[in-house]
């Protein structure tokens, strides 16, 4: 009997659309194709590209992306204008991700249309795409500042029209995970089609909100590599992977997890930012242990202070032994590596020396080793360096 | 009548304890005092410092910190050893933040003690601190991997002993906001004392989890500036402030919000990292708008794509007009600034020229202005530059 697999979210990577809206991002045609190949090899199910009407280069690049023949489906983000949809179809996109701002503030400040007016435009755009046989998503921008009655009117209308999915977008990053659960759950009960979630990070909850959307019934989740996007961005791929893996590794079993560090490094270089020190999985020190209480336990059992195994993600564990926060076990471990084995009393004295020296600044490995060897040199011969033969 | 203020969380900043456990952090005595003064001026209610037993410098620095006489209470993070508590008391700390690892994996890999054994140590340490009249917090490390029955046994025992607060720590960053709500809610129902929450970011949910803890009844929340800490850190101050402000500005009305950018910059410089591009509020582009759909609406009404007003936080709004994603309104706004006013048809032609030029790379402001002025030069005289007089 085949074991039952858990329901898992499909990843819509929008680095080539939302990510391009990051202030510092400008992808060359070659960069876009390189990144698309890397994301396809990683295993994301969808790649979203900027609308072909954005600029001549955007149209050229979308055509080239479609031409790669990747496993991932190539979709493009287009306004509910029939001309825009026609251009997307002409480029050969596998799907159109339609959107419309439905909140009062966007209706007034952005397009000046009523919900009825935009729904008429949306249905025309949807039918045009459906007639061409491509996948259709329709998203309400700024869903969390939209009246729920308006949202449901729009979602049920486009669902009745047969869209593949509706999109719930936290466009300005205001939602809490609980609010996401509530709204996605409400939409889940109201439509038959799939549900996509897109959430910004203005309130620091982009990863938690994406995971909450999945829990509440969303089928597709938007991410970008590193989380780049308008303002301070959306859910980062590595962050979402970390969160889902912690809940159940099978949720992300379809992806090449060890490729995450290279993916994040690739985009960081392309857009000229550093990988944030606090990035999940790929942050430089995400698997570095420092305080003595931590290094002590990790030497015995890494799981003590590691919920994620670095090896799964192509990373390595590091233990810092030369800081003033170090502990006896970390010092003993470092000493043992030099062939120095100490009595408990000597280890306490040496650790105190290391801490006092490190008060002026953490010791580099070479400095720590020199201190250990100098200490060992003061001890009676057989005690130290015994096993160095 | 005085208006009823909402229940609000108290902030325990632990940059000088958890933050010091960040791999790259080593604060000099002068840096610690400078940072403590800045955090006190910002308005945090508590400053947590490394245990005075960690190193001679740690004890010296804790004494100096206490000596500043700040408004914030100075607490220190100490093991449940009576000697450690005595040292903290001797340094003059306003409180001791006691901790003990209660999960099976920490009991085995860290201290090898039973729950009964550690509870006996904890009660002795608590009584010692209480007799000295200082504030006492007792925290269960790794609470989310601890049996709930064990947790409640410990929390109710220390609550009965009269601690000021219990701490719920997501030490390895495994919890979801929903799990935090559930556990903090359970603890809230079981104890009379205050509840402190401390959550790591391994799963990308540190901010969401801290906010969820508050919603469920936590009274004190741990943060560090930038979120620095072991591995990839804990909830960042700016992120927590952003999240709470979005829910209700009154929750953070006690703090000097405009000081956040300088605080983040100060710590970034001290520990040698960049402020993450995706940091809430203080990320370089947190208030930068790029796509035409966004800049169009923001020119009319900033709230359209801004849930947070940059002015409240000492930041400024930026609109990028020279990318291939730009829109007519952004170009028109830039042109108007140069005294160039265009007909709708001319504006469409100019915008198309800007987009085509920007396909090779975003135009700097000077390049965009040159392009606008060159375009205006091709038009009949009264149409352009009319109002430049």
pLDDT in tens, A218-264: 999 999 999 999 999 999 999 999 999 999 999 999 999 999 999 99
pLDDT for B115: 86
Nearest residue of chain B to residue A302 (CA atoms): B109
Average pLDDT rounded to a whole number, residues A28-53: 98
Task: Evaluate whether B279 touches B236 at the Cβ level (below 8 Å).
Answer: yes
Task: Report yes or no on A280 lying in a domain.
Answer: no
Partners of B100 in the beta sheet?
A: B140
CA neighbor of A140 nearest in space, from A117, A173, A108, A106: A106
| Cβ-contact B250, B44 below 8 angstroms | no
Structure tokens at A260: 């995450």
Please, which residues 127-186 of chain B have a Cβ atom closer than 8 Å to chain A?
A: 171-174, 176-178, 181
Domain containing residue A343: CATH number:
1.10.238
Q: Which residues of A touch B214 (CB under 8 A)?
A: none
Do B113 and B147 fall within a single domain?
Answer: yes
pLDDT value at position B380?
A: 86
Has residue A385 been placed in a domain? no
Residue A318 within a domain = yes
Q: What is the Cα–Cα distance from A19 to A14, expressed in whole angstroms?
A: 6
Helix (H, G, I), strand (E, B) or coil at A99: strand
Could you tell me which residues are beta bridge partners of residue A90? none
| Cβ pair A366, A374 in contact under 8 A | no
DSSP labels, B283-306? STTTTEE-SHHHHHHHHH-GGGS-
A297: nearest CB among B110, B204, B276: B110
Distance, CA of B249 to chain centre: 15
Residues B193 and B334 in one domain: no
- State pTM to two decimals: 0.96
- A110, A88 contact by CB (below 8 A): no
- Dmax over CA atoms of chain A, in Å, equals 90
Q: Which domain holds residue B87?
A: 10-271
Cα distance from B1 to chain A (closest Cα, Å)? 32
Residues A70 and A209 in one domain: yes
Per-residue model confidence as pLDDT tens for chain B (389 residues): 556 678 999 999 999 999 999 999 999 999 999 999 999 999 999 999 999 999 999 999 999 999 999 999 999 999 999 999 999 999 999 999 999 998 888 888 877 788 888 899 999 999 999 999 999 999 999 999 999 999 999 999 999 999 999 999 999 999 999 999 999 999 999 999 999 999 999 999 999 999 999 999 999 999 999 999 999 999 999 999 999 999 999 999 999 999 999 999 999 999 999 999 999 999 999 999 999 989 999 999 999 999 999 999 999 999 999 999 999 999 999 999 999 999 999 999 999 999 999 999 999 999 999 999 999 999 986 554 544 43
Q: How many CB atoms lie within 10 A of CB A287?
A: 24
Give yes or no for a contact between B281 and B265, defined as CB atoms under 8 angstroms apart.
no
Residue B193 C-alpha, separation from nearest chain A C-alpha, in angstroms: 26
Nearest to B286 among A231, A283, A291 (CB): A231
Work out the number of other CB atoms within 10 angstroms of the CB of residue B256. 13
Q: How many domains does chain B have?
A: 2
- Alpha-helical (H) ranges within chain A are 29-42, 56-67, 82-90, 104-106, 115-131, 148-160, 177-190, 206-215, 237-247, 260-271, 292-300, 328-337, 344-358, 365-377
CATH number at residue A102: 3.20.20.70
* A58 and A160, same domain (yes or no): yes
Do residues B233 and A286 make contact, with C-beta atoms less than 8 angstroms apart?
no
What pLDDT sits at residue B2?
57
A294, A318, A333, A341: the active-site residue: A294
**Are B237 and B355 found together in one domain?**
no
Q: What residues of B act catalytically?
A: 294
Q: Give B-chain residues touching A221 at CB under 8 angstroms.
A: none
**Does residue A263 sit in the same domain as residue A305?**
no
- Reported as a pLDDT band with limits 50, 70 and 90, residue A118 is confident
Residue B382, in any domain of the structure: no
d(Cα B29, Cα B65) in Å, to the nearest integer?
9
CA distance A13 to chain B (A): 17
CA-based nearest residue to B197, from B217, B182, B226: B217
> Do B21 and B78 belong together in one domain?
yes
A125 pLDDT band (50/70/90 cuts)? very high
Question: Min CA distance, A228 vs chain B (Å)?
Answer: 7
Do B234 and B344 reside in the same domain of the chain?
no
Give a yes or no: residue A279 inside a domain: no
Look at A177 and B108 and tell me if their CB atoms are within 8 Å.
no
Last residue of a domain, one of A240, A271, A302: A271
Q: For chain B, how big is the Rg over CA atoms in Å?
A: 26
Residue B243 counted as domain residue:
yes
- pLDDT at residue A162 above 70? yes
Which of A271, A301, A331 terminates a domain? The answer is A271
Same domain, B237 and B297: no
CB-CB under 8 Å, A26 with B362: yes
- CB of B17 within 8 Å of a chain A CB? The answer is no
Interchain CB distance below 8 Å, A202 and B105: no
B79 contacts on A by Cβ (under 8 Å): 293
Which residues neighbour A119 within 8 Å (Cβ) at sequence distance 6 or greater?
A153, A154, A157
A180 falls within a domain: yes
Res B386: pLDDT? 46
CA dist A165 to A138, A155, A162, A191, Å?
Answer: 6, 9, 9, 9
Counting Cα atoms < 13 Å in the Cβ hemisphere of B11 gives: 27
Rounded CA Rg of chain A: 26
Task: Tell which of A271, A303, A330 closes a domain.
Answer: A271
Q: Looking at residue B382, what is its pLDDT?
A: 57
A40 lies in some domain: yes
Does the complex come out with an ipTM higher than 0.90? yes
Query: Nearest 5°: phi and psi at A148?
Result: -60, -35
Q: Are residues B293 and B256 in the same domain?
A: no
Beta carbons of A120 and A154 less than 8 angstroms apart: no
Q: B299: how many CB neighbours lie within 10 A of its CB? A: 17
Q: Kindly state whether residues B260 and B315 are assigned to the same domain.
A: no
Separation between Cα atoms, residue B124 and residue A62, nearest integer Å: 68
Read off the pLDDT of each residue in A80-105 and give the average, rounded to a whole number: 95
Rounded Cα distance, A99 and A110, in Å: 13
Question: DSSP assignment, residue A111?
Answer: I
Contact residues, B window 63-92, toward A, CB-based 8 Å cutoff: 79
A201 and A209 Cβ atoms separated by less than 8 Å: no
Whether residue B52 is found in the same domain as residue B190: yes
């Amino acid at each position: 009997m085949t074991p039952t697999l858990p329901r898992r979210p499909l990843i819509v990577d929008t680095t080539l659309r939302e990510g391009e809206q990051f202030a510092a991002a400008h992808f060359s045609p070659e960069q876009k194709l390189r990144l698309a190949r890397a994301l396809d090899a990683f295993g994301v199910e969808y790649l979203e590209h900027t609308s072909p009407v954005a600029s001549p280069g955007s149209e050229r690049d979308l055509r080239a992306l479609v031409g790669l023949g990747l496993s991932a489906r190539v979709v493009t983000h287009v306004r509910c204008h029939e001309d825009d949809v026609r251009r997307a179809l002409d480029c050969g996109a596998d799907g159109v991700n339609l959107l419309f701002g439905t909140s009062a503030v966007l209706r007034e400040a952005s397009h000046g249309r009523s919900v009825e007016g935009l729904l008429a435009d949306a249905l025309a755009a949807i039918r045009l795409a459906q007639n061409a046989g491509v996948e259709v998503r329709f998203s309400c921008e700024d869903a969390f500042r939209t009246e729920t009655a308006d949202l449901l009117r729009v979602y049920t209308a486009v669902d009745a029209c047969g869209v593949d999915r509706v999109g719930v977008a936290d466009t300005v990053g205001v939602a809490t995970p609980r609010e996401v659960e509530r709204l996605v759950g409400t939409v889940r009960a109201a439509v038959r089609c799939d549900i996509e979630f897109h959430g910004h990070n203005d309130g620091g909850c982009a990863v938690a909100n994406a995971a909450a959307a999945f829990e509440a019934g969303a089928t597709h989740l938007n991410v970008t590599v590193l989380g780049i996007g308008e303002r301070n961005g959306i859910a980062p791929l590595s962050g979402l992977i970390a969160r889902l893996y912690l809940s159940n590794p099978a949720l992300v079993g379809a992806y090449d997890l060890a490729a995450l560090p290279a993916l994040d490094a690739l985009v960081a270089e392309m857009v000229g930012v550093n990988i944030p020190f606090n990035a999940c999985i790929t942050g430089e020190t995400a698997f570095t242990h420092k305080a003595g209480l931590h290094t002590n336990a990790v030497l015995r059992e890494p799981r003590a202070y590691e919920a994620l195994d670095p090896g799964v993600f192509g990373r390595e564990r590091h233990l810092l032994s030369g800081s003033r926060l170090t502990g006896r076990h970390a010092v003993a471990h470092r000493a043992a590596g030099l062939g120095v084995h100490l009595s408990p009393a000597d280890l306490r004295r040496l650790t105190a020396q290391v801490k006092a020296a490190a008060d002026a600044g953490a010791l580099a490995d070479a400095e720590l080793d020199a201190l250990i060897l100098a200490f060992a040199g003061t001890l009676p011969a057989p005690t130290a360096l015994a096993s160095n033969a």
